[in-house]
Amino acid sequence: MVTALIEQLSGAWRRVVGPASRSAALALVLAVLLGGAHLARLGTDAARAVVGVGLALSVGVVLLRSWLERRAWRSARRTIHRVLVSADPALGRKALRALSLAERTAHDSSAGSAELAALHLERLMASVSVERVSRAATRRASRYRVIGYALIGAAFVALLVSPARVVEGLDVLVARHGRAPLHLAWLDAPQITAKLPAYLRAGGDRLLSPGEPVELPIGTQLVFRGVPLRPGRALRLHAGEREVPFVADGAGAVVARWTVMSDVRLRVVARFGNTLIEEAESLEVRAVTDRAPLVELESAPRTMKLAELDRLELRYDASDDHGLRQIDLVLRSGGSEDRRTLSRLDGEVESDAGGAVLQPDDPFLRRMFLPVVVTVEALDNDPVAGSKWGKSDAITIVPPAVGEPEARRFAALLGLRDELTDLLARELDGSAPRDHLARSQAIPARVSDVVDASYGGLSVPSGLSAFLLGQARALARPLRPGESLVRKTEDVLLAFDVALRTVGANDARAVARRLADVAEEAAEGAKLARESERQALGLARVDVALDALAKGARELRRLDALGRDLGSVAAADLGRARSARARSDMTHTELAARHLAARLRRPEPSFGSARTGGVESGAGSSRASGGKASQAADHFDQLASELQELVRDHATELGSVERSLSEAEQSVDMEALREEARRHAEAVRGALRALPLPGSEPGTARAAAALGREHAGAMAESLERLSFADAVNDGRDALAALSDAEKKAAENPNGAALDRSALLEARQRLGAELSWAEQQLTQLKQQAQARSRGALEKSSRAEQGIARRAGNLADRGKNAETALPEDAIGALERAAGIMREASRELANGRGDRGLELQRQAQRLLEQASNGKTTDSNGQDDGRARSQRNDPSEDGGEGGKSLRMGGEVPHPGDGRSAEDFRRRVLQGLGKAGSERLSPAVKRYAEGLLQ
């Protein structure tokens, strides 16, 4: 009965209070959630943690209260306390005491009658007014409703203030790994444009659509523009680890720029602390890299031997998808590289073709002992990712063994000495006296063949060549009265022998020093091989260098006594290095290689005096007295030194005459002629107005007349500059062109229309102006010569003395011990004659003619001067032989014997052409080059292209 009454009371209470309390609990959770969204929107870890904890606490409080209420309604005491005490406090306290008594008597009979205590409790509960309980419940429910309404109002205020902030805050609150799960739009009417890199030269911008993948070149600038849907957000353009902020453009929109450097997916995001809220759409960009230039090298790839190389023509074709800046010829060998620029471009040319030539005596090729890899490389114009080199296939040039060319040359010279020895033996035993003349006459041709030959790109030095040819000429000349045939042959043989030993010793020293570089390469390779990460590369360098050392040592032993000595030393140390290499002992391999390198850098005999060369070197093996068996080489070198000094002295005297004439011309006052020269220049221009302009078909009369107009225009410019010499030359060229035009017009009267009367009038007027310019030039020269007469007379005496010295040297060159080649003697004699004539012209005050003769003589002197027998170790350019073999040596201005000084060599002449180019460029760069008219300078520079 009591239990039923208690349940009746609790039911009445819960029906009224329960819904209100639950509504208040839900309002609390909602208020915490919406209010916390504003705090969570800060995006920091602390803010999100505070909101999360607050939300968890509110939900926990609600759940805990619900559990406690369910538990409380199952207890009679708690029910009475909650319901009856709240409705009627006095009755409620009585009921609680009665309940306590009933519970005590139920367990302890000594406390009283349990039936009476239960009856007392039942009567009290029956006296409770349900209506009163309902009123108390209503009052409690009202309080809950007030609290709920207050919390709901706060939540709605938080929502109504900024619904977007609440949504953003809730999105940030539930974010994971810095990314919110809900995508939101941030820009209104977004626009994406792509501006291609300037080096592509593609005008206009591209409009892109988000959501569609797009391919763009590296360096493209993407511009994102739009109006923010909700101001105050920190908008970013995001891709991976990188972000670019949006900035205001001053017109209400925001802009962000992104440069494409790699594949990327771009999104517009808003950053809230450490959290991003992304837009749903993204832009996927695939970066298109600028390809490296494509270079094709004709006949590549291939491998060839340097010893078999006569001339390597390299033709290339380079192209790039956007533009080329530079093309280089690259030579690599081991760790060495030589890069030579073939072409510099403006970065807008997409293709280029050209060529280059490698000569076998190229310095880089000559000093390499490892295979040389030849490629052509092109550089593009990519300013964004950096310019890239494109490389062609390679042509590999395998050089001969170190010392092989020297050994071949020494063997050829040794063969000459052996032939002379055989000739002397036949003379001594008298076995073939009849054919002696024929055999001795054949010696010069045989010597010429040997000294003119190339030995793996190596030639005989010009000084030694001249000495040997001079000795061969001395041998072939007829016997003089009282001269012994055997003695003459012995002298020539001894001269050959001494020269050969000198060449052998010099070559052995040079080859030994080059082998020292090879040993250093082996040492560096061994040092590199000790590093584990580069061991394979180091071992490869060691093996290649040791193999090159072995081959070089064999060749070194072929170079006479000193070569045999140094070659045996190299072989011994090489054996130690190879033994250490076989044991993979890189430390001792390096030590042995460095010891060998140090020894080869001192290419002196192992035994004997370093001054005399020692017995092993062969320097003293054939001379008991310690002196040379033949002094011919020394006498020849003395003569060569005097000839070189003569060349220098004459060049100094020639420069003195040039300065004298130049100073005399500059001292002539021509200001009085300036106004008159200007009038004549205008007269020349007036004579040209009726002539056609350039642009006609080449080879026609109009083209020739246009050329004449150009020359005449240059003549007018020269007159205004008071450069009468240039004006006269231009005027003569102009008259020649007009004459040619008249001739072509007469031959083809039906050709292009040409006013022949105007042409004739222009010729007459131009001829008159040319006569005036020639007259002024003659007068100026006369004045200059008069002013320079004293200096010219002094130069005349000096020129006469140099002519006598040249004649004496030519006479001495005919002697046996100082014999010069026939072409050298002829050049000296002609030079002496020309210098005597130049002396007479200078003495008579004709400086221009004397200077021209001096220049002719200087070229002949330089042609005759081949240097000493020891001047070079074979890196000769072959100029002396090309002059000596020239069939025409008339000594005139146009003679082929003067081709190194007076004619333009063919572009295929290798170093001769390069030397000519250098001399012309130096001449154009001198201070006096302003005397050249612009047309002449342009023409000369065009020849060098």
CB 10 within 8 A of CB 73: yes
Which residues is 287 bridged to in the sheet?
Answer: 216
Averaged confidence pLDDT in the chain = 77
- Identify the residue whose tokens are 């192992």: 606
pLDDT band at 927 (very low <50, low <70, confident <90, very high): very low
pLDDT of residue 868: 65
Which residues is 319 bridged to in the sheet?
Answer: 294, 351
Residues 411-422 have pLDDT tens digits of 888 888 888 888
Q: In Å, how far from its chain's centre is CA 867?
A: 39
Token pair belonging to 603: 């290419």
208 phi/psi in degrees, rounded to 5: -110, 155
CB 662 within 8 A of CB 791: no
Token pair belonging to 770: 């040319």
Range of lowest pLDDT (165-174, 461-470, 896-905) = 896-905
Question: Cα separation of 78 and 56, whole Å?
Answer: 28
Tell me the range of 511-520, 644-653, 657-666, 688-697 where mean pLDDT is highest: 511-520
pLDDT band at 530 (very low <50, low <70, confident <90, very high): confident
Residues 790-821 have pLDDT tens digits of 777 788 888 888 888 888 877 777 775 566 77
Question: Cα separation of 396 and 331, whole Å?
Answer: 10
Token pair belonging to 481: 């009265």
Residues 593-644 have pLDDT tens digits of 999 999 999 888 877 544 444 433 444 444 333 455 566 677 677 777 878 8
Question: Cα separation of 811 and 670, whole Å?
Answer: 49
Cα torsion through 444, 448, 450, 454, rounded to 10: 180
pLDDT of residue 645: 84
H/E run at residue 244: strand 242-245
Residue type at position 723: S
Question: Cα separation of 531 and 546, whole Å?
Answer: 19
Residues 268-322 have pLDDT tens digits of 999 888 888 888 888 888 888 778 899 999 988 999 888 778 888 999 999 988 7
Q: 247-248 and 254-259: which strand pairing?
A: antiparallel
Q: Is the dihedral of CA 763, 764, 769, 774 positive or negative?
A: positive
Question: Cα separation of 402 and 424, whole Å?
Answer: 35
CA distances from 779 to 234, 481, 717 (A): 89, 60, 20
pLDDT of residue 908: 46
H/E run at residue 635: helix 632-667
Q: What 8-state DSSP symbol labels residue 330? A: E
Q: What 8-state DSSP symbol labels residue 341? A: E
SS3 readout for 141-176: HHHHHHHHHHHHHHHHHHHHHCHHHHHHHHHHHCCE
3-state helix, strand, coil in the chain (%, to 5): 60, 15, 25
Question: Cα separation of 883 and 826, whole Å?
Answer: 12
CB 48 within 8 A of CB 172: yes
Range of lowest pLDDT (216-225, 378-387, 882-891) = 882-891
Token pair belonging to 935: 């047309």
Residues 485-496 have pLDDT tens digits of 778 778 777 878
**CA nearest neighbour of 325 among 290, 349, 360, 354:** 349
**DSSP class per residue in 474-513:** HHHSPPPTT--HHHHHHHHHHHHHHHHHHHHHHHHHHHHH
pLDDT of residue 346: 82
Helices 485-529/462-476 angle, 10° precision: 160
Residues 750-783 have pLDDT tens digits of 655 667 777 788 888 888 888 888 887 777 777 6
Which residues is 208 bridged to in the sheet?
Answer: 192
CB 865 within 8 A of CB 823: no
What whole-number percentage of the chain has pLDDT above 90? Answer: 5
Residue 936 scores a pLDDT above 60:
no
Q: In Å, how far from its chain's centre is CA 308?
A: 31
SS3 readout for 529-589: HCCHHHHHHHHHHHHHHHHHHHHHHHHHCCCHHHHHHHHHHHHHHHHHHHHHHHCCCHHHH
Mean pLDDT of 444-466: 80
Which residues is 269 bridged to in the sheet?
Answer: 236, 278
Range of lowest pLDDT (95-104, 205-214, 509-518, 836-845) = 95-104
pLDDT of residue 296: 93
CB 293 within 8 A of CB 380: yes
Mean pLDDT of 721-735: 83
Contacts of 739 (CB under 8 A, 6+ apart): 763
17 phi/psi in degrees, rounded to 5: -85, -30
Residues 817-860 have pLDDT tens digits of 566 777 778 888 888 888 888 888 888 777 778 888 888 888 88
SS3 readout for 801-812: HHHHHHHHHHHH
Residue 870 scores a pLDDT above 50:
yes
CB atoms within 10 A of CB 156: 13
pLDDT of residue 615: 37
Strands, DSSP E only, in 101-186?
none
On the 0-12 / 13-18 / 19+ scale of CB atoms within 10 A, 480 is: exposed
Residues 392-449 have pLDDT tens digits of 999 998 888 888 888 888 888 888 888 888 877 877 776 555 555 566 667 778 888 8
Residues 680-694 have pLDDT tens digits of 888 888 877 777 777
H/E run at residue 298: none
H/E run at residue 350: strand 336-358
Which residues is 351 bridged to in the sheet?
Answer: 319
CB 608 within 8 A of CB 617: yes
Mean pLDDT of 868-879: 50
CB atoms within 10 A of CB 320: 26
Residue 69 scores a pLDDT above 80:
no
Q: In Å, how far from its chain's centre is CA 343?
A: 12
* Number of H-type helices and E-type strands within the chain: 28, 17
Question: Cα separation of 169 and 184, whole Å?
Answer: 12
pLDDT of residue 75: 66
**DSSP class per residue in 224-240:** EEEEESSTT-EEEEEET
Question: Cα separation of 289 and 320, whole Å?
Answer: 12
Which residue has better confidence, 160 or 338? Answer: 338
SS3 323: strand
Residues 859-868 have pLDDT tens digits of 888 887 766 6
Question: Cα separation of 712 and 688, whole Å?
Answer: 7
277 dihedral zone (left: phi>0; alpha: psi -120 to 50; beta): beta
SS3 905: coil
pLDDT of residue 724: 75
Contacts of 866 (CB under 8 A, 6+ apart): 462, 463, 465, 466, 640, 821, 824, 880
Question: Cα separation of 227 and 235, whole Å?
Answer: 11
Question: Cα separation of 323 and 681, whole Å?
Answer: 47
Residue 367 scores a pLDDT above 80:
no
CB atoms within 10 A of CB 133: 22
Question: Cα separation of 316 and 294, whole Å?
Answer: 10
